[in-house]
Structure 1
Amino acid sequence: MLESLIQTLAVAALPVIFAITLHEAAHGYAARHFGDPTAWQLGRISLNPLRHIDLWGTIVIPVAILLFSGGSFLFGYAKPVPVDFGRLRNPKRDMLWVAAAGPGANLFMALCWAGMLKLAWLMPGNDFTLPLSEMSKIGIMVNCVLMVLNLMPLPPLDGGRIAVSLLPHKLAWKFAQLEPWGFPILLVLLFTGILGTVMNPLVIFAARTIESIFGLY
């Protein structure tokens, strides 16, 4: 059992770290593009995962959850990239694109991992093929989970910020007031099983759609 979990951790480490950290980097790239250089000035616009890793959120918590769930569940986060929405050229409109950049990065990575899985299937069998195949499967699923989770319309998740951007000003202001309660609400949904009930069909649909594009499903 322990040996199996160690193998899972070894294979999952790379896709999980990149899924979490590049999600944050994408927010920084988008913010700079739309006029807010805060993340760039702090050196957070980087594809180097080390700039985004949070000891607890990126390493300790994901490993602990993976161990205690027997490898069946994973959750984590990176250091949030600072975005000053007031410095965007059009704060309400541009907030949508800055928020969507994170899930967009996860979608892109899921597609890349699907391409890697297809490559692994086409390669002649060797010692590298199986680990690449398993890593790619994890990469697809982890990125689909993060994409779906972050698109939930709950501040401060990306989906909540997208909703604030799209709603009329008065409704957007009222909806944004939920942000201090967003994380506690998310934890309640997680531990009551509601979050999994809502997310699982969407994650499976996203993963299968991506796999079907590459003829994997």
Structure 2
Amino acid sequence: MENFLAFPVELIPYVIVVLMIAFTFHEFAHAYVAYKFGDPTAKKQGRLTLSPLAHLDPFGTILIFIAGFGWAKPVPVNRFFFKRPRLAGVLVSVAGPLSNLVIAFIGNALYLILFQTGAFAAMPENIAMVTDQFLRILINLNIVLFIFNLLPFPPLDGYRIIEDLVPNEIRAKMTQYENYGIVLFLILVITPLDQYTIQPLFDFGREAVMTLFNLLLQPLR
């Protein structure tokens, strides 16, 4: 069974906890920014909450364990309520991935603090091991979700950002072919093609993000 999973079986409990944190804050960020720009849709549907049960998507969650990446239940957004739909749309879309980047940064900073202060060494061995595993997965999985959600495929945030940046005529054409984009996206992420398309982007993106973190956290070293 483990051959079909993206994570070793013993790490699954950590992954579940991290997913609840990552997905919940990601979707809450979308809902919160939309609400601040005047859209009450997510709030009325119970999505302006930090309860994981309101945000988890069954298929997107299962895919995390199989492919190593996935998604939560998209937050409903009604652009009718936005005074500046394009600006608000971009900021709402960016808010989700940015929340994952912030979580990964906080996890990285905490890990560095625990290491540099000797807190890891002072912990009982079993607690130090659990803390180490949890923070590593918290950092890595949130970086993956940050990169993954910025990919320019529907229904991901990266695609929505492009929609709000391009002229209306191009946006209309994108809408016509959106279903084909979803099919292409699924083919790329659930077939071996991901090793030649999605995975190299993850590798490059992860390295870039960790380089940024190292620069920002240099004073703690």
Classify the TM-score, shorter chain.
0.7 to 0.9
In structure 1, the partner of 2:57 is 54
Cα separation, partners in 2 of 1:211 and 1:49, compared to 1, 3 Å: farther
Whether 1:38 and 2:36 are equivalent positions in the alignment is: no
CA contact (8 A) 2:69 2:148 kept: no
SS in structure 2 at match of 1:35: coil
Whether 1:157 and 2:156 are equivalent positions in the alignment is: yes
Per-residue CA shift, 1:167-206, capped at 9, x if unaligned? Answer: 1222232234332223211122222121112332112221
In structure 2, the partner of 1:76 is 70
Equivalence map 1:1-217=2 (5 Å): 5-58=8-61, 60-63=62-65, 65=66, 73-121=67-115, 122=117, 123=119, 124-126=122-124, 127-190=126-189, 191=191, 192-193=193-194, 194-215=197-218
Per-residue CA shift, 1:62-105, capped at 9, x if unaligned? Answer: 33x1xxxxxxx512222211111222222222110110011111
Cα separation, partners in 2 of 1:120 and 1:10, compared to 1, 3 Å: farther
CA distance in 2, matches of 1:212, 1:141: 17
* Structure 1 residue 212 displacement after superposition: 4.6
- TM-score for both structures, normalised by structure 2: 0.83
* Structure 1 residue 41 displacement after superposition: 0.7
CA distance in 2, matches of 1:17, 1:188: 26
Cα separation, partners in 2 of 1:120 and 1:6, compared to 1, 3 Å: farther
CA distance in 2, matches of 1:104, 1:208: 17
CA contact (8 A) 2:154 2:185 kept: no
* Structure 1 residue 17 displacement after superposition: 2.0
Gaps of 5+ in 1: 66-72
CA contact (8 A) 1:120 1:132 kept: no
Provide the alpha-carbon RMSD of the alignment: 2.3
Q: Which amino acid aligns with 1:112?
A: I
Cα separation, partners in 2 of 1:211 and 1:115, compared to 1, 3 Å: same
Q: Which amino acid aligns with 1:214?
A: L
CA distance in 2, matches of 1:106, 1:28: 15
Which moved further from structure 2: 165-174 or 103-112? Answer: 165-174
Cα separation, partners in 2 of 1:47 and 1:74, compared to 1, 3 Å: same
**Quick one: percent identity of the two aligned structures?**
31
Gaps of 5+ in 2: none
Q: Which amino acid aligns with 1:87?
A: F
How many residues matched?
Answer: 207
